[in-house]
Structure 1
Amino acid sequence: MEEVLHPDYSACRRTSGPVGRTLVDVTRFETTAVESRFREGLVLPFLVLVSIAVTVVRWPGGVVLPAVALPLFVLVSITAVGVLLPWRWLTGRRLLVAMTAYMLLGALLLPLAHATTAVLLPYSAAATAGGVLVSRKAATWLAAAGALVAACATLVVGHLAPATPQWPWWIALTVGLPVYGGIANRARLDALRNARRAAEEALRASESEAREAALLERGRIAREIHDVLGHSLSGIALQLDMADALRGNGCDEEAAAAVRRARALAVDSISETRRAVHALRESTLPLPETLGRLAEHNAVDFAIDGEVAPVGVEAAHTVVRVAQEALTNTAKHAPGAPRTLRLAFVDDRVTLTVHNGPATAERGGEPAGGTGVGLVGMRERAALLGGTLKAEPAQDGGWTVELELPR
């Protein structure tokens, strides 16, 4: 009988509600628990104090053997107040000893003051034992012992004072019955507390899921910004650098053409931004047409293998972004190299291959700066959709990027 104190009995009467108050269920559980704590923490002590006060006022009326009843009544009153009030030091074995004294002294007082309100004290002791002792076995045995003591005390007092009316001894056995009410009430409080904890955990889980979804969405938006703006701005910067170099060499017509290409890229970036917003809203993306326009703007050979089949929004969006990133990297790191863009449909998968040969011109400045975010973003996109991305040198001295995704 190491642990007989209900671990959260005092806490359930003193603590405030759960931290998470945004769920309706949490609030409902909290309100019910507060009402239960009110009944447990105020009503029962109030009834006990009233019974003690009424008995004091009417003393010694209705009392048998006052010389014996008085010290018993004083001791029972002290233990009742000590047990029912939420003293922090009254825990564990101290509580068990106090409850034992409360139950047995109240049972002894029963036949001596059965005509007064003090008769409520042993019944209150049994109910309190069922509510504060975590061990049901300990509470039941204590109530049974109290009932047995009350019955025996009734027989003894009836023998010592035969002229005084007494309860039948078997009625005194009912002293222990309220213990089952206390146990049931404690079980109900436990159920409310567990339900409240479950609601709090559900709230924390939903908040964690919301934070995770927000982080995923931030990552997705970051990839969109990099893919759309990074590709477009890099291309515009390259064309403007080329125009500047051509103008410095006296090639005005070629420089003007480079400026026009830069403008075309700027206009195209606006369209790509609109398509990105469109994809974020779960609309469809015409994959072959989009790649065809991308190849046309970048002067890249484009081919389609297999029968064109529908591709999911996320998969199509990823294919376009990888194509943009690969072409941008090719323009920066292999200027003048021949480039090809190939889209293949095989079974339930779609494959994009971007290949460039060795550079045929000298590398100039890198206006966009290499951060490594592009390659990481491409691999992240492929992994999120259950696909793979390979970027490796080709046999002809160039570079090949291959993306394979489920449709």
Structure 2
Amino acid sequence: MDKQSSILDNELERLLALSNLDLDYYDAKHGIEWLTEMAATVAGTQVSLVNLIDSYTQWSIASVGIELTQMPREDSVCQYTLGNEEGELFEVDDLRLDERFKEKKYVTENPNLTYYLGVPLKTSEGYNLGSLCVMDVELKQISQEKKELLKMIARQIVDRLKVNSKVHDLKIQMGELHQSQKKLAHDIRGPLGGIMGLAEIIKSQGKDIDPEEVMEYMDLIEKSGKSMMDLADEILGQHYDASHHRTMELEDYQLNLKSFRAKIIDMFTPQAILKKIDLQVILNEENQYMPFPKAKLMQIVGNLISNSIKFTPETGSINIVLDLIFESSTMILVIKVKDSGMGMPQQKIDQLLSNEVVTELGTSGEKGFGFGVKMVRKLLNDLNGEMDIQSQVGKGTEFTVKISFN
């Protein structure tokens, strides 16, 4: 089996391992910047990057010597490290002479990169998340001793990302605990109110029909009830009125529609600009400040938007609609991604909603492994969400995702 076949066989599991870290690629709090700087210092290169690679995109989450946040996966050098074993480096002595890279803009134009060395970011489970790479505009020779040091730095980066993920999970659990406290407070208010009402009724009639001792007991019941009501109010904290939400500071594990929209624009406008696609993100302003858990949301919406960009021709359009609706005690996040792309027949939709992997080239010849929509289905299944696909050949496709929160 060749290396490319090995990558395909392992790709969905690799993508799930990356998704399980639930990283915000544009979050500056990964804590790996100093490791990126150390890699450049050890290698003696002008440029160092930590790149994570998903279905469509290479995301640069830390950088030295170059301002880069993302590029199409198929244009990256780091994609060639994905099939490497842990510690197996991918080195290109001169990018200008390599058929795979010599026509790339980062070689022919600024910054005119020449040398590349990539170290796989391999987890202990054997999944390659991306690459720690060092690059330079001049030819380089890096000693074996320094390469071993770069491998150690790569392992430290993976460990740090996993620690960050664990901390993120703990914050989510703490948030869920806080919500449970609020529910408990609501649950006890009803019966306590009944006790206090009963005590008040007995007090109002007790002088005529009850002994003085009963009155004292009823007084104690009322006082105890008021104390528990005060405790419930303290747990509940501020009321969820509109003015509170407008000033409410989001926790690290939360988004609201307004911040969700901002992240989508920041992350995917560059991809849309490359294909001259008009990308619009619209939100329902009524509940735009209501917080909800962000777990896996960027991975879900990212795969759908990247898929739409891939299959929408130049000068096309993509409209994303975000809404938050309430049904009884359930909050439902609705995400719609509608493009003016190629569209697809019902047979293709059925394939996407099955376990079959479908791989096609995009409108500009973009390559893909066919795992994007399948990834979304897996993530939605974990979140008890659902997805609907509507499409017409030649007219475009609309994905609708719904995720419920208690």
Alignment TM-score, normalising by the size of structure 1: 0.34
